[in-house]
Chains A and B, each alone.
Chain A
Amino acid sequence: AQSVTQLGSHVSVSEGALVLLRCNYSSSVPPYLFWYVQYPNQGLQLLLKYTTGATLVKGINGFEAEFKKSETSFHLTKPSAHMSDAAEYFCAVSEGNNNDMRFGAGTRLTVKP
Chain B
Amino acid sequence: DAGVTQSPTHLIKTRGQQVTLRCSPKSGHDTVSWYQQALGQGPQFIFQYYEEEERQRGNFPDRFSGHQFPNYSSELNVNALLLGDSALYLCASSLGSGPGQPQHFGDGTRLSIL
* Residues of A bordering B, CB below 8 Å: 4, 32, 34, 36, 41-46, 49, 51, 90, 92, 94-106
Contact = CB atoms under 8 A, between A and B. Distances in A.
B110 to A, nearest CB: 8
Interface centre among B40, B96, B103, B105 (most CB of A within 10 A): B103
Interface in B31-62: 31, 33, 35, 40-45, 48, 56, 58
Contact of A49 (B42, B56, B97, B102): B102
A40 B20 CA distance: 24
A44 B99 contact: no
Interface residues of B, number: 29
A36 B94 CA distance: 15
B100 A44 contact: no
A100 B102 contact: no
12 contacts: A36-B105, A46-B102, A49-B102, A92-B42, A98-B56, A99-B48, A99-B94, A99-B97, A99-B103, A101-B33, A106-B40, A106-B42
